[in-house]
Structure 1
Amino acid sequence: MQRLFEAFKRAGKELYLVGGAVRDLALGVPMVALDDLDFCTNSRPQETLRILKEAGFTTYDVGIEFGTVGCVLYSETEPGYPKDCQVTTYRSAEYYRRGSRHPVVKYGDTIAQDLRRRDFSINSIAMNEAGEFVDPYDGLGDLERRVLRVVSDPLETLAEDPLRILRIGRFVARLGFDVDPDLRRAADERAEHILDISRERWLQEMNKLLLGSEVEAALEFLAEVRILGVILPELAGLKALGGPWSDAMRLVGGAPPELSQRWASVLFSVGAFWARERPGPHAAMLVEGIAKRLTFDNALSLEIRTILAQHQTLTASTSEWTDAAIRRMVRELDPFCAQTLRFARHVDQILGSGDRKEWLGDFETRMADLEKAGNLRPELPRGIGKTIVETFGLKPGPDVGRRKDFLEFSLLDGLIPEAKNAQFYMDYLNEHFRDDAEE
């Protein structure tokens, strides 16, 4: 980092560390724990690129048309490196066109201009090469007071980028700070403008918010300023219609800080309320609509939906845990077996009577024993589907799948051994599907 400061000093340009890294350093977070470092400078983008390359830094394109050049900082002696770093030309203003993820930028000439156009005072602090804070808007004071306040007029600040309303919630979730009354009123007044923002940016902020340690307070704030009713009306309805809002908050706030666990907790609460008269896997059914609205990626959507659907299957089971029953259940839970069990324990702990704690513990113990013995997930030989096609003269389709399922469940139930050759399994199928062949 010192090399970076020196490179810009030799070129006669200013350079400051800014943004979240400075805020976190002021809060006592060690430098080694910081992932991304943001700097700003009075050099223009192409000049910044030249300075970095001449100083031997590895650079990459991150949006030079918006004034930002990316580079990587390395250290052979300090822990926590390499660190990603972005150097951006001072901005005096920026705003987002409706539905766009990219800002319209107007360059500035001073660090004070750049800090003034930022959202919150706690993010409007800079640090120079000597490690001294530059704090023209009392961000350090607001850190001590534990309050979120904007530098400029709140209504104008939120009009420039309505996503900042969600960012307020995100910082409440992460830091547990209070929201300045003027900012809270402005957020409520500007709530409907969140519709001007792309759904991808909604999701980015919501994901960060849900992982915060103070997520309950953050969701309360979003509900109070009407944003939650726009983004997640299913959840906002719990509060508006007298549903189990407090239970929902306890469930979300107490969930492991993993994205799928927090989202599953949100949707479990919603599904349980709306299906209170006709219980069923309604939470899993909600995922598709919400995933489409918020543009979840397929992997996250599948994981959440599977956790919710299979949790229903797991906790509805009343059978004795025979080896076969455990193997069958694990087959249903995979590839999200651990996540589903973790979610089931969490729901029982927060909302249940605790009567399933022993039941789930027994299941996990038996499952671990089978896994240790190598009998938890018995497998058929690879390419068994092709062998079935060739042996029975079938075309790929339901008949092949039916035979393969028959073999898999026979294996899970311990009716046939594992690790035999393909012909052994074909002989087994011939014996049990003889009537089909005759028909």
Structure 2
Amino acid sequence: MKAVVLGGYGLIGSAVMRALAGAGFAVTGMGRSAAAARRMGPGFDWIIRDIPSVDTPEWRDLLRDADVVVNAAGALQDGGRDDLSAIHEVAVKRITAALEGSATRVVQISAAGVSAHASTEFFRSKARGDAILQGSGLDHVILRPVLVIGPAAYGGTALLRAAAAIPFVGLQILPGAQVQTVALDDLARAVVLAAQGAIPSGTVADLTEDDSRSFPELVQTVRRWQGGSDPKLRLPLPGVLLKASSAVADLLGHLGWRSPLRSTAIRALSDGIAGDPGAWQAAGGFRCRSLDETLAALPATVQERWFARMFLLFPLLVLLLALFWSLSGAIGLIRFDAAVAVLTERGVATGLAQGAVALGALADLLLGLAVLSRRWLRPGLIGMITVSLGYLIFGTVLTPDIWADPLGPFVKVLPGIGLALVVLGLADDR
């Protein structure tokens, strides 16, 4: 049987692809990033397309031979790279139209808590997409997982790990929020059962453990799993500070950053993440593992602890680079004559010195602004490293005595290169 997995290199999609392949399906993944696809599964077949932009005739061609279509594509919030209506509704409408009259089974991965009257557009748009599929007349199963816990971390699960890794302090974030979890492997296994036809068509079911816990209790459980000691100090996080963080995260979303602190994630968390396993078990499904059972099956290695710590530090490192380079460029323009004098006093022609200072200052300013955009982060970092090396090479040729300057302006370029290399090494978001 042939299965096509939309959003195949995502947290859920990648696990589903491996599980389906292990069950004997011929699996093809679909997503818009060829690089992410290669990293996730170089041995799989891939269709590289921007899912919301595919029209009905192309879907009909792409899915002609598919026995199962698994829709694991989704987005949390509108932003620079995402359009909720396009991915959750328009794409589903086109896919169902393309599959009209076929025997293809569609397995839709939705979310627990979706409804037309939910507090966020994420849940409302998901609900509208589910309704389109339910009204299509196609063979379908809709699975609605709660907070998914797996070996990979992305979005909310990355934030959870990072919150648990804060040293010494236990932040009491949204203490009234109740959260249930589901193991990523259980979700993938459920998709395989649905793809095999073991779950009746028309089933709409939450995938969740039986118990729930407060978000601070969840963070504490993950902290212990990571091997961390209990916090020395427990501090409540003021609601106003959380709202301010969400507002900043929303603004950064327009620059392509998919922060788990965006308002949709915080609102969903404050509302609680809960489901009812009854419909799933009534449809012939298995009991989903508890959080303790899920974590017991996942070793908390040094990679896990590194990721949790670096997830907290990564935005700070990007901000430091942006400030360093932007301020450097701005100061060069503001104190233009003084900067030119550094070169002319050493015998460099005035015109050449003015051109070098102006070009260098503008390059610094543009590179500092570039890394604030997710799309331009990697090119900006490479530019920073290249320009820094250029400064050292040409600076050594033109003004070698500056190496002996007691303030070390050339020497300080070296840790700047190192910082850019570190951020470049952490730049992948999947």
After TM superposition, the score normalised by the length of structure 1 is 0.28
Structure showing greater Rg? 1
Which structure exhibits the higher relative contact order, with contacts defined as CA atoms closer than 8 Å and separated by 6 or more residues? Answer: 2
In terms of fraction of residues, the more helix-rich structure is 1
After TM superposition, the score normalised by the length of structure 2 is 0.29
